[in-house]
Amino acid sequence: MSEQNSPFAKVTGVNGNIVSIEHPHGHLMKNEVAYVHVGDEQLKAEVLRIRGKTADLQVYEETAGVKIGDQVQLTGELLSAELGPGLLGKVYDGLQNPLHSVASAHGFFLPRGKYLNALDNVHKWAFNPLVRSGEKVIASQPIGTVQEGRFTHKIMTPFNLKGEAEITWIQGGSFSVDEPIARIRDQQGREEVITLKQKWPVRIPIPEKLIEKRIAERKFPDEPLITTLRLIDTFFPIAKGGTACIPGPFGAGKTVLQSLISRYSSADIVIVVACGERAGEVVETIETFAEMKDPKGEGTLMERTIVICNTSSMPVAAREASIYMGVTLAEYYRQMGYDTLVLADSTSRWAQAMRETSGRLEEIPGEEAFPAYLDSAIKNIYERAGVIENLDRQKGSLTLIGTVSPAGGNFEEPVTQSTLGTVKTFLGLSYDRAYKRYYPAIDPLISWSRYGLQLKDYFDKHIAPDWTDSIERVREILVKAEGIEQMMQVTGEEGITQDDFILFQKAKMLDLVYLQQDAFDPVDVSVDLNRQKENFTLLKKIVDTDFEFNEKQDASAFFTKITGIFKNMNYSVYASGEYNKHLNEINKMIEAY
């Protein structure tokens, strides 16, 4: 091989995880994967910036021992995800190394420079063809299926296929992910072998459309992602295929909230991206999901979950890759028609990794030393969420919920502000509510959802004709009650009118029995929409009733009693004898006034 065509370059400088290289003839490509050779080790890296014959690499390993003159192999390939059957139930790092397999092969201390296949290349999958030889196919078209646990996994033609191609050969049977199952011939006469897996660059969205033919068509999100959390579903809904963020200070319950959303939401497949969180939290998630029965069906929760695990103890550079990897895997299953949910915990760590890399590249910093392109980077990730209709006329969705960990709970810092300018649901966690042991600690006065009007037709049709308007009226009461409470802190109960005091008591009851849920109670932890509708309708009846009390103490005693009964009803199985008993007690108390 001539020097001009050589895939090798030389190291010219090292600055932390940034390694500068030079190629003799400048054959370099942005985001190309490279391997830095250190003795017998090969450290995986990615080209970030090119300047003529030189380039800067982001190395996804510790760079101890790398020196000037070391050889660097350029692969000519972009950082990609392996897509195929066998992804579900796996735990990967940000580069899609299967961590259980790495531990089995090399022990529990992850070795540097060791990379394994993301998909098991020994396991056989039963492939059932959907097309025959001679048929024409286009990009992303299913040509067969395999059964992946409880899911029908569609084997699709390459996503980058241009125009039509002809199936020249296809076979059914049991195959590993690397064995040929079909061959196609494109319009230029080039033949390509199809296997059960394909690769796709993680930084490029899986295409929704081609100019020549439709691959998948993006649709307007018109259904809610049901989380079974009353505060979210009723007041701050998230659309299937939508975006949301959960910012809050440390200890406010972000991880618990995300965990419950992943368990009980109406998504088919959940991808948890731990892009820099503490290792203990990730281990707890893996252990819990592996043992917990799936609320949506048989088997364990882990059987429909993928964990991308790049914790704070792993190389900082891989934090950035982890979120792209998780979104790409979600897009793959969305392309099949499944509702996927990506939970990124936390995007603050991802942004901090970008800040560190940007600093080492000596780029002009933005606010608080974050890169100037922070805002566009966050938008690029969240814009990959959405709803598509695939070639089978099936709708698939990708919902992206990211947590943000602003220092000191300061929502004015750059990562939170950039995220708020992108997402359509903001679930702000409050330290004060968390300190009072309110769960979820979402502050109803600062949180918002732009999906309210977008989902109005759905809620008015499936819940109640005036559902959305009723929510707004109740929210107004919460806002008014906040002002009354602030006045009471100055003047005491004597300084407000009887009507204001009753309004405050109504809002307090609403907060205690509806906005809060008991995450440790097997009944109250998850509330479906029918029960939410019935409970909210009952609460609105209480709120709309003009109660008259002689003294404020009488009003306080009444609402304390009805709140206690309502909370006991929350802990009762829906429509059970105990539930109906508490329901009748509440109705009798209302009718007595």
Helix/strand/coil percent split, the chain, to 5: 35, 25, 40
Inter-residue contact 83 to 71 (CB < 8 Å): no
For residue 272, list its beta bridge partners: 307, 343
Check the annotation: does 251 bind a ligand: yes
| CB atoms closer than 10 angstroms to residue 422 | 20
Q: Is 65 annotated as a binding residue?
A: no
Binding residue per annotation — 561?
Answer: no
- CA 125 to chain CA centroid, Å, is 28
- Residue 410, exposed/middle/buried by CB under 10 A (0-12, 13-18, 19+)? exposed
From CA 590, how far away is CA 545, in angstroms rounded? Answer: 8
Beta-sheet pairing, 91-92 with 305-310: parallel
Q: Which amino acid is at 305?
A: T
At 421 the three-state DSSP class reads: coil
Number of H helices, E strands in the chain: 15, 26
DSSP E strand stretches across 276-352: 305-310, 339-344
**555 among the known binding-site residues?**
no
CB 133 within 8 A of CB 168: yes
Q: Report the SS3 class of residue 365.
A: strand
Radius of gyration of the chain (CA): 27
Residue 453 CB neighbours (<10 A):
9
122's CB contacts (< 8 A; 6+ apart) are 176
Q: How many CA atoms lie within 13 A of 448 on its CB side?
A: 7
219 assigned to a ligand binding site: no
386 assigned to a ligand binding site: no
Containing 555, the helix (H) or strand (E) segment is helix 552-570
Residue 351 known to bind ligand: no
The annotation status of 252 as a binding-site residue, yes or no, is: yes
Distance CA 77, CA 30 (A): 10
Numbered residues of the known binding site? 248-255
Numbered residues of the known binding site for ATP? 248-255
